[in-house]
Structure 1
Amino acid sequence: MAVQLDARPPVQPAHRVPRPSRGVRLSRFDTKYSPYLYVAPFFLLFGVFGIYPLVYTFWVSLHDWDLLGAEHPFVGLDNYSQLLGDPDFWHSVVNTLGIFVISTVPQLLLALWLANLLNRQLRARTTWRMAVLIPNVTSTAAVAIVFAVLFGREFGMINWLLDHVGVDAIDWKANRLASWVAISTMVDWRWTGYNALIFLAAMQAIPRDLYESASIDGASRSRQFWSITVPLLKPTIIFAVIISTIGGLQLFTEPRLFNSGTNAIRGGPLRESQTVTMYMFENAFAPHYNFGYGSAIAWLLFALIAVVAAINVLLLRRLGGGARKEDSR
């Protein structure tokens, strides 16, 4: 009689992994999902107050949307085609770009120079740094009233000073280029100090060892500024340019308050200083109440800001790359 033996090893009972406790599960959940919960309020608010109005504005721009009417028929891209052939719209675009260039370029250059001064060892540095922000916290209405008096044709101080050097009086509100200069001066006075503090904060993050090494090598203050400060401020300069582009192309309050009268939204009798936002307001609200056409203007303004901001960033990067190549030589 044959006996068959089973040579296989005995089966070990499976090791049972203990179930994680509730505290461990909560800790894992907190580590994995809590960052998303922390940032969710921002995206929720951005979606409600940013994305939704943008999409809704585009939807309205596809309709003949009279604010005083009950029906809003769909017209497709008719508002955009009409807008591209509107000479008043292109007139406002030229005004906006002109004021933007005259105000933004000197503003950022002056802010960079002012920040460099405030970054030095000065007496009462905190006082000076706080003082440059005073124009920004001043009421825009008060600033507009003061500058409207300064640039008055008959009794303005600017024309009084020009008269002392033999220059005839300038009608700052009726002359197109003169109105650009007057409004740009108002904008520069308000925002130069704000940008200077942004540049100053970035300058204080630059290691002092770089300046000490440059001084030992015999570099002057000017050479240190252009070879050390400006290249290391490139990200901050790009940020300031983008913010200034957005604000400069959306200019409304300063030119609106600079022009007085019953129809100041036109920016003068011949629209000398009417910006795109003023033209948008004129069409979307009183006196035309054409909300669809105004929404089309808003979307083209959005596209204009995106294009100009992209061009500015590309130019800054190209200039920065060229400067690095020259330094390497």
Structure 2
Amino acid sequence: MAHQKKSRGQLSQRTKDHISGYLYISPFFILFGVFGVFPLIYTAFISFHDWNILGGKEFIGIDNYAVLFSDPVFWISIRNTFSIWILSTLPQLFLALVLAFILNQAFLKGKEFFRLSIFLPNITSIVAVAIIFSSIFGEQYGILNYLLSLIGIEPINWKGSTLATHLAIASMVMWRWTGYNAIIYLAALQSISKDLYEAATIDGASKTQQFFHITIPMIRPMIIFTVILSTIGGLQIFAEPLMFSGLGGGAMEQGLTITLYLYEEAFVRDSFGYASSIAWVLFLIIVLFSLFNLFLTNRIKSAD
């Protein structure tokens, strides 16, 4: 009997330990459920309705999606989003890798100062960034057009053409996020053994050869990680095109991205059902890209 009471006491204490453990982690799951899972499910529910937030909801099935896929403005926003993403992500990650490689060199003095300097753009207000870049890319009095005029190039209307607008917005994204990714790469570089570089130097390998044959292969998982993050962030770009091109994305909708179009449908035209369908299509696009990156990662690992 005493043994049974002791076992019950132990079981009871074990149960209490389990309960206390779940209570400790419950705040995260409660917040995640309220601000993460519920909005996702409710957005899916709203996407099957015609709702302007003030009136009642009218169930219309998949009509919002049918209209969306036949909407030319939506496809323009898709094109703009992917164009800006390509123009900003590829140069940004390569430049970040080069900066991290330079900051990791032993001969460089004042590394702490340079690390802080390249990270500062990431914590700068996006409004301030937009104002500065609007001045840089101004057609009449912009600094960039002035520099181009010195070499005989006519002023460019950066807000008047698709490619020019995409380049301007991509440069804003690059300026903000290159330093952030460089810090991530720098942390990965510092985990590489110095013996590899010393052996390569003894064998006569140049810094360029070391960069492509040692640095990149050794931090490949981190590169894939930043590619995934940049993909998710690039497909949701909102603040930069809004501040640079304004609502509507410019005269030819050249700065209109998916999230900017979503914002206009929801908070300008009060079409929350249609905006919800845009949000879910964007969510599915991001999921597909993430799965593709996961597949690519597994293929690279299996090849190694």
TM-score by length of 2: 0.91
5 Å-filtered alignment, 1:270-285, equals 270-285=252-267
Equivalent in 233, 253, 257 of residue 219 of structure 2: 233
Offset of 1:265 from its aligned partner?
Answer: 1.1
Equivalent in 67, 82, 95 of residue 80 of structure 2: 95
Query: Does residue 290 of structure 2 align to residue 304 of structure 1?
Result: no
Query: Does residue 24 of structure 2 align to residue 43 of structure 1?
Result: no
- The equivalent of 1:85 in structure 2 is 70
Equivalent in 263, 266, 272 of residue 248 of structure 2: 266
Larger Cα-atom Rg? 1
Query: In 2, distance between residues paired with 1:32 and 1:211?
Result: 49
Equivalent in 90, 97, 118 of residue 105 of structure 1: 90
Query: In 2, distance between residues paired with 1:26 and 1:131?
Result: 56
Offset of 1:25 from its aligned partner?
Answer: 5.3
Equivalent in 97, 105, 124 of residue 138 of structure 1: 124
| Bigger helix fraction | 2
Offset of 1:175 from its aligned partner?
Answer: 0.5
5 Å-filtered alignment, 1:1-329, equals 17=3, 19-20=5-6, 28-29=14-15, 36-68=22-54, 70-121=55-106, 122-259=108-245, 264-286=246-268, 288-315=269-296, 324=304
Offset of 1:213 from its aligned partner?
Answer: 3.2
Query: In 2, distance between residues paired with 1:196 and 1:30?
Result: 46
Alignment RMSD:
2.3
Offset of 1:257 from its aligned partner?
Answer: 0.6
Offset of 1:203 from its aligned partner?
Answer: 1.2
The answer as to whether partners of 1:132 and 1:194 remain within 8 angstroms in 2 is yes
1:61–1:117 Cα change, 3 Å: same
The answer as to whether partners of 1:111 and 1:193 remain within 8 angstroms in 2 is yes
1:44–1:210 Cα change, 3 Å: farther
Offset of 1:97 from its aligned partner?
Answer: 0.4
1:125–1:27 Cα change, 3 Å: farther
Offset of 1:27 from its aligned partner?
Answer: 6.1
Query: In 2, distance between residues paired with 1:209 and 1:34?
Result: 48
Query: In 2, distance between residues paired with 1:22 and 1:282?
Result: 62
Query: In 2, distance between residues paired with 1:273 and 1:86?
Result: 17
Partner SS for 2:50 = coil
1:252–1:207 Cα change, 3 Å: same
Count of residues paired in the alignment: 303
Q: Which runs of 5+ in 1 are unaligned?
A: 1-14, 325-329
1:178–1:28 Cα change, 3 Å: same
> Counterpart of 2:251 in structure 1: which amino acid?
P
1:117–1:22 Cα change, 3 Å: farther
Query: In 2, distance between residues paired with 1:186 and 1:243?
Result: 17
| Greater mean alpha carbon deviation, residues 73-82 or residues 229-238 | 229-238
1:80–1:204 Cα change, 3 Å: same
The answer as to whether partners of 1:231 and 1:320 remain within 8 angstroms in 2 is no
**CA shift digits 1:174-214 (9 cap, x unpaired):** 10110000000011001100010011111112222333333
> Counterpart of 2:134 in structure 1: which amino acid?
A
1:172–1:213 Cα change, 3 Å: same
Offset of 1:28 from its aligned partner?
Answer: 3.8
Percent of aligned pairs sharing the same letter: 48
